[in-house]
Amino acid sequence: MRSRRREEAVPFRSCRREEAVPFRSCRRQEAVHALGNPALGHFPLMPLPSFSSRFRRTVQLGIRSLWLHRLRSLLTVLGIVFGVCSVIAMLAIGEGASWEAQQQIKNLGSQNILLKSVKPAEEEKVSNRQQNNFALEYGLKQDDIRRIRDTIPGIELVVPARVIRDYVWNITRRVDAEIVGTLPNHPATRNQNVAQGRFFNDLEMDAASPVCVLGHDVALKLFPAEEPLGRDVRVGLNYYRVIGVMEPRARSAASEASVDGPAANAALGRIFIPLETARRRFGEILSRRRGGTYEAEKVALHEITVRVSRPETVIAISEVVKDILARHHTRKDYEVVVPLELLRRAERTKQIFNLVLGSIAAISLLVGGIGIMNIMLANVTERTREIGIRRALGARRKDIITQFLVESVLLSGAGGLIGVALGIAIPFAVSALAHMKVIVTPWSPIAAFTLSALVGILFGIYPARRAAALDPVEALRHE
Amino acid sequence: MVASPQPIVLLDKVRKAYRMGEFTVEALRGLDLHIAPGEYLSIMGPSGCGKSTLLNVLGCLDRPTSGRYLLGGDDVSTIPDDDLSSIRGKRLGFVFQSYNLIPPLTVLENIEVPLFYQNTPEEEARSIATELAGRVGLAHRLNHRPFELSGGQQQRVAIARALANNPLVLLADEATGNLDSASGREILSLFDDLHSQGKTLIMVTHDLGVGERAARLIRLRDGELESDTRR
């Protein structure tokens, strides 16, 4: 079949040749053919350059030549592998951590300003010395709420809360929790909804009804199998009817303690009761016995949540709030937390983190690229003779450039691929082992791979050009 | 054989000078040479006479400093490097003293190298290479590597490779220099066959026994033509 095609091709070919080489006699051509050398009488039937097939073969050639020096190639790409892998992995872990922090801050509400009572550090010592027989009075007061609400425009809500730490009982089940006495509109300030039942209303507030709404975790612990609605829970000597269960909060982690909850214990669940109920049942003075010492505190309000109507005014209003509080408190017995500010700070931290990671990535890719360049230069020197042979057999300069460039891009691209694979695998291993949130952003592997391929081009171009610039005569003489 | 009025190779007052620091060494001093299609020519001369330079110029690996070189009717002494490459690929076939096969490639792949650079489709290149390997008696060694072959076999691969693009002229540089006499004779008889099939062959040698097999023998001395004899 094949030889038949070839014989058909030959007469066609001799005519073509005739055009190209006018003085070559046709008779000679026929003589060649007559002597039975079909191969010598060959002329390409399809002179169209098939670029893709040619490129594919160049790539195959490159893979073979790299495979020939497997160890060397592997060692060469390690720089790129580690660079790419570490950057993707760190980015994923950092992204996860910052997502978590942002989520927590968002739970506090970006339109909110949180005011908290803080026990002044120096007073603590004094109270200890004075036989503990009087209650330490500090913190935010009802007056603060009035001042803030009356003097600052643009405030939507001011929600106070008393937070008392105590055990919450269901018959024999016990949970250490924070009992939060607050207003009926508390859920609105925390982007937190009631999952089951309802929150208490103004009527129950005014009547100081013994009702409560359980936090999701508390409800799970106290009523693992039963329906909590309509049941009673006991705190101290008082019973409260469960009228609702909150939605679960976004994952809480240790960092939440610093911005939410004066008890500084993030693991604590919360139950909500009307503020009025809390005032009547627990009184003004909270006492605590701990290891033989007795502590009494008089704190009117533990938290005040100020919700502004327009998010862009949060920072400005928070400054005014700080001013007002500073004027009316002689001691620093409160703190002001602005979640939006925290969010901004978290974002800035993340930007810096990304910048640092970016420079690490750039440096490692640079180092990896230099490694590739080094090996490619050695490669060119080693294969000088091959370059000479190829040039003598018809390779143009750009063919040589392509050949060596393909090799260096293959090296860096393979390095990038391995790096991306490891860089994705490592964060998932970390999250499985350390229970950390990791987020692999889709652009990071793509960017890492593209960059490493670019590094191959950038650092491959010089060796490739050097190979192409070799004088064929010199190259052929090279041992 | 009578020289054709239209030579396949025409050198017209070709000079080649190399700068060696402050000195200029003239390797070729105004060489005139006409080679007709189908001629079998050998170039001889003492070392340093300009044989290698002449071969490099003839092989389009090097350009003359002055003078004209017409290969197949086209002036190739002044064309750009890329065109020179394609001239080498299409019109010339090289056979070197040290074979110059590419070590990691198999016999077939070595023969395919010149076809690759002329964009010959893959299957076609494969069938051409197979046929040529058969013609030089290596049909049973297609997938061997050069180091697995004897010197004579490697040189035959090199000849097959040189013939791959059906060149106008075959250039052999001491093609038998590294071979034992038996292998050398095989190679020379292969050249004789090619000549009888109408190939134009130019052979550089310093072995008179080899040189005299050619129909025309040129002697060079100090970059000039010393003698030009035909049998």
* Inter-chain touch B96–A476, beta carbons under 8 Å: yes
Q: Show the tokens assigned to A476.
A: 């052929």
pLDDT > 70? residue A172: yes
Contact status, residue A448 vs residue A361, Cβ threshold 8 Å? yes
Q: What 3-state class would DSSP assign to B181?
A: helix
For chain A, the average pLDDT equals: 80
Q: What does the pLDDT look like over A337-358, one tens digit per residue? A: 888 888 888 889 888 988 888 8
Q: Contacts of residue B61 in chain A, CB cutoff 8 Å?
A: 391-392, 472-473, 476
pLDDT > 90? residue B130: yes
B6 vs A23, A44, A393: nearest CB: A23
How far apart CA A140 and CA A302 sit, in angstroms, is 7
Query: So what's the pLDDT on residue A291?
Result: 65
Comparing alpha-carbon positions, the chain A residue that sits nearest to B197 is: A32
Residue reference for tokens 């400054």: A319
Query: So what's the pLDDT on residue A13?
Result: 40
* Inter-chain touch B85–A46, beta carbons under 8 Å: no
Q: Contacts of residue B195 in chain A, CB cutoff 8 Å?
A: none
How far apart CA B164 and CA B112 sit, in angstroms, is 7
Contact status, residue B13 vs residue B173, Cβ threshold 8 Å? no
* Inter-chain touch B88–A392, beta carbons under 8 Å: yes
Beta-bridge mates of residue B227: B219
Interface membership of A64 toward B (CB under 8 Å): yes
Residue reference for tokens 């952003």: A441
Query: So what's the pLDDT on residue A328?
Result: 87
| pLDDT band with cut points at 50, 70 and 90 for residue B3 | very low
Helices A397-434 and A443-469, packing angle to 10 deg: 150
Interface membership of A477 toward B (CB under 8 Å): no
How far apart CA A113 and CA A275 sit, in angstroms, is 20
Interface membership of A56 toward B (CB under 8 Å): no
Query: So what's the pLDDT on residue B5?
Result: 59
List the 12-31 stretch of B: residues with Cβ below 8 A of A: none
pLDDT > 90? residue B95: yes
Query: So what's the pLDDT on residue A258?
Result: 41
Q: Phi and psi at residue A234, in whole multiples of 5°?
A: -115, 135
pLDDT > 50? residue A259: no
CB pairs under 8 A between A and B: 124
| pLDDT band with cut points at 50, 70 and 90 for residue A33 | very low
Examine residue B20 and state whether it is found in any structural domain, yes or no: no
* Inter-chain touch B132–A39, beta carbons under 8 Å: yes
Total of domains in chain B: 1
How far apart CA A57 and CA A70 sit, in angstroms, is 19
Examine residue B190 and state whether it is found in any structural domain, yes or no: yes
Q: Contacts of residue B103 in chain A, CB cutoff 8 Å?
A: 386
Examine residue B121 and state whether it is found in any structural domain, yes or no: yes
pLDDT > 90? residue B126: yes
Which structural domain range is residue B113 located in? 37-56+81-230
What is the CATH classification number for the domain harbouring B179? 3.40.50.300
Contact status, residue A232 vs residue A305, Cβ threshold 8 Å? no
Query: So what's the pLDDT on residue A90?
Result: 85
Q: What does the pLDDT look like over A280-310, one tens digit per residue? A: 888 777 776 666 667 777 888 888 999 888 8
Examine residue B76 and state whether it is found in any structural domain, yes or no: no
Q: What does the pLDDT look like over A400-455, one tens digit per residue? A: 999 999 999 999 999 999 999 999 999 888 888 887 888 888 888 898 899 999 99
Interface membership of A67 toward B (CB under 8 Å): no
Contact status, residue B204 vs residue B52, Cβ threshold 8 Å? yes
How far apart CA A140 and CA A118 sit, in angstroms, is 9
* Inter-chain touch A39–B163, beta carbons under 8 Å: yes
A290, amino acid identity: R
Residue A404 Cα, gap to closest chain B Cα (Å): 15
* Inter-chain touch B128–A39, beta carbons under 8 Å: yes
Examine residue B32 and state whether it is found in any structural domain, yes or no: no
Residue reference for tokens 């893959």: B122
Q: Please count the other Cβ atoms lying within 10 Å of the Cβ belonging to residue A203.
A: 10
B114 vs A37, A393, A476: nearest CB: A393
Distances from the Cα of A337 to the Cαs of A74, A364, B185, B230, in angstroms? 53, 40, 98, 106
Nearest to B48 by CA among B200, B206, B166, B169: B206
Q: Mean per-residue pLDDT for A45-67? A: 77
Examine residue B16 and state whether it is found in any structural domain, yes or no: no
B104 vs A21, A64, A394: nearest CB: A64
Query: So what's the pLDDT on residue A43?
Result: 43
